[in-house]
Structure 1
Amino acid sequence: MAPNSPFINFPNSTVHSSQVPITPLESWLPMASRAAPPPLPRRPPPRVLLLRHPHHFSLLDRPLPDGFRFLKPWESPLPLDGFLSSAEARSAEAILTSARAPVTADLLRRLPEVRLVISTSAGHNHIDLAECRRRGIAVAGAGDTKSEEVADLAVGLLIDVLRKVSASDRYVRRGLWSSEGEFALGSKLGGKRVGIVGLGRIGLEVAKRLEAFGCAISYNSRKKKPHISYPFYSNVHELATNCDVLVICCGLNEQTHHMINREVLLALGKEGVIVNIGRGPIINEKEMVQLLVQGELGGAGLDVFEKEPYVPEELLGLDNVVLSPHAAVLTPETVSNLCDLIIGNLEAFFSNKPLLSPVLDE
């Protein structure tokens, strides 16, 4: 047999062929005994930059999900600007943010690896969507997780203002009932003409609730809704002229900034009430405060403010104003659903699956 030959010679054998091929030994071994192929290199976990502390998770004492590396600027000795210039931040592939942490074009330019932005807010005015489109960055929002809770608070604020619930509560607690007598009369909700500014998901939920109270609904939006029977006003001033109540449900952008100004509020009238669960700067806050103090506007229920968390001092002493600390969505159910949605969007994106609540595709 020649050296290294795969054959064996049988010179005196009755085997007709003088050579028989040798079967390699390893082919006779059971599959489990064979050498395993080298493992594929594991991809490092995706890096997610947290622009603010993820309070939705901490409210529920819920840990951040496994499978991701979360970059937390507040744990760095560097100031935020310095951290954002670091190699660690520049490696981020996703951003988790909220309304108080804007995602600007400048920020995105500093983070070249970012391919996904997730916002926990209902609105998106804090994200430069045009820059995200230009860069091919996917954006996910809160979807429908908050609509019902925000609508509940809008109606609650309106009832509180009209029926003076918070004001009468203070009246009783101060011991004034026994010394001052009966409290001032409130106003009935049923029959009120309510104008909704922004008839999107939240606006429709508000309309559904107020219709059940017997209110007459009309609305202003970017365009008339084809399958909605409520009266439509293309001009918010005209809407206010024909309403007792305005409920602000629209998002903030260049067109809606200070859209509710002195003229609109005067059109609402001295008995008129405004409720804002949209964004603070949609109302010209200075002009609204002046009209409330002067008695030219009946009342206000406010969950959002122009320069949060600052609230104009004049509002604090007005019994016809009800204030809420931008808390329309803060129920355990909503916070839990939002945490699930954040995790679901992260897992979907980094598994090359469709986002659960895309913004740019809406």
Structure 2
Amino acid sequence: MKPLLLVLIHMTDDRQALIEAVFDILYAPDAARRKSMIETEGARIRAVVTNGAVGLTAAEIDALPALEFVSAIGAGYEKIDVKAAKARGIEVTNGGGTNAACVADQVFALLLGTVRKVPEYDQAVRDGLFREVLPLLPNFSGKKLGILGLGEIGREVAKRAAGFDLQIAYCNRRQRTDVDYQYFDNIHALASWADYLIIAAPGGAETFHLIDATVLQELGSKGYLVNIARGSLVDSAALADALHRGVIAGAGLDVYETEPAPPTELLACPNLVIAPHVAGLSPEAFAAADARFVENGRRFFAGEQVTHSVLEAA
């Protein structure tokens, strides 16, 4: 008999079919079905697949006495109560790196779109305007790019930045020994140095509103911000104020604090390019994440070593 898996995220039929090779599935991608499945089937559920935004609470873990294995399908796991899982001896894994290339591609879509005003100039042409009445824009290449969080996504960003002849620096919890990029031990120094500031750090309480009015002031009037991490890292009110007053030159956001509701205080901001949290979504990224999850599930229930365990963080 295959282990019973509770699926808490939206998943197409073909993705479910892949997972059914290892698990029997209970599909509960909304709050009502989630509550119902845990109440009626909780005693039989041995595995849960979720993501960082959807999570799994300590109370839900307590309601699943047979639970042995939890996996975040993407890199983030900030709303999974890892400490509660660890206390029960429950394995927790994630899909770190499976969508890193896709997310890094989106960084440059947002950054180029903002610096070179692609949406605004597209509209200008549709309005009958030509280049003589539009402002002259700076080169994109040859600038300084700072990365907050040099994990797998951050390193993919750095690889692409080299192709644009950008100077690269980063801020991390600790300096890495496997790269030779310039290192800053705090976000304020990185922001003051950078022309482009890329947010690729984990979400959670430790990074809440790390990008505040002070950091934006340090980034400066010729600086650009891109956030592809979590909306909680950026103080939305401070960003809106900075964009309206020209404290920074522009911003590209794939994430925002009010998700999934629109970020109303940001939508009227000048020189903002925004997307609905799609940086990590592509057929290739889903295939890699699903394959990682299925393989880890197979390994775990076969008594083999899993990869990408996140229990060390608890």
| Fold similarity call, TM over 0.5 | yes
Matching of residue 106 in structure 1 with residue 63 in structure 2: no
Query: Would you say the 8 A contact 1:248–1:275 is kept in 2?
Result: yes
| Structure 1 residue 328 displacement after superposition | 0.8
Structure 1 residue 74: Cα displacement: 6.2
- Within the candidate set 143, 155, 167, 2:96 is matched to 143
Q: 1: CA distance between counterparts of 2:23 and 2:220?
A: 54
Unaligned runs of 5+ in 2: none
Give 3-state SS (helix, strand or coil) of 2:281's partner: coil
Classify the secondary structure of the residue corresponding to 2:183. coil
Give the number of the structure with larger relative contact order, counting CA–CA contacts within 8 Å between residues 6 or more apart.
2
Q: What is the aligned counterpart of 2:108 among 135, 151, 155?
A: 155
Matching of residues 1-362 of structure 1 within 5 Å? 44-55=1-12, 64-73=19-28, 80-86=34-40, 88-173=41-126, 175-177=127-129, 182-360=133-311
Cα shift at 1:166: 1.7
Structure 1: tracts of 5 or more residues without a match: 1-43
Change (3 A) 1:75 1:107: closer
Identity percentage over the alignment? 33
Structure-2 change in CA distance of 1:67 and 1:343 (3 Å): closer
CA distance in 1 between partners of 2:124 and 2:16 (Å):
37
- Cα distance, 1:119 vs structure 2: 0.9
Q: TM-score, normalised by structure 2?
A: 0.92
Contact 2:55 2:79 (C-alpha < 8 Å) held by counterparts: yes
Question: Is the Cα contact below 8 Å between 2:78 and 2:203 reproduced in 1?
Answer: yes
Q: Distance in 1 between matches of 2:34 and 2:20?
A: 24
Q: In structure 2, do the counterparts of structure 1 residues 106 and 188 end up closer, same or farther at CA, with 3 Å as the change threshold?
A: same
Deviations 1:219-243 (A, max 9, x none): 1110111233222111211211111
67-76 or 123-132, larger mean C-alpha shift? 67-76
Report deviation, 1:181.
5.1
- Structure 1 residue 82, shift from structure 2 partner: 4.2
The answer to whether the 8 A contact 2:74-2:96 is kept is: no
- Which amino acid counterpart does residue 7 of structure 2 have in structure 1? L
The aligned amino acid for 1:71 is L
In structure 2, what is the Cα distance between the partners aligned to 1:79 and 1:238?
47
Please give the secondary structure, in 2, of the residue aligned with 1:118.
strand
- Give CA deviations for 1:116-160 in whole Å, capped at 9, x if unaligned: 001112112121222222211111211321111111111221111
Give how far 1:360 is off. Answer: 2.7
SS class of match (1:199):
coil
Shift of 1:203: 0.7
Contact 1:273–1:297 (8 Å) recurs in 2: yes
Two-structure CA RMSD over aligned residues (Å): 2.3
Query: Aligned partner of 1:176: which letter?
Result: G
**TM-score, normalised relative to structure 1:** 0.80
Q: Report the structure, 1 or 2, having the larger helix content.
A: 2
Deviations 1:308-335 (A, max 9, x none): 1123224333451111111112122111
TM-superposed deviation, 1:62: 5.4
Q: Which has the larger radius of gyration?
A: 1
Counterparts of 2:240 and 2:202 in 1: how far apart (Å)?
Answer: 21
SS in 1 for 2:207: coil
| Deviation by residue 1:150-183 (Cα, 9 ceiling, x = unmatched) | 111112211111111122112223x2326x9543
Q: How far is the alpha carbon of 1:339 from its aligned partner?
A: 2.1
Q: Does structure 2 conserve the Cα–Cα contact (< 8 Å) formed by 1:71 and 1:89?
A: no
- Equivalent residue of 2:197, what SS? strand
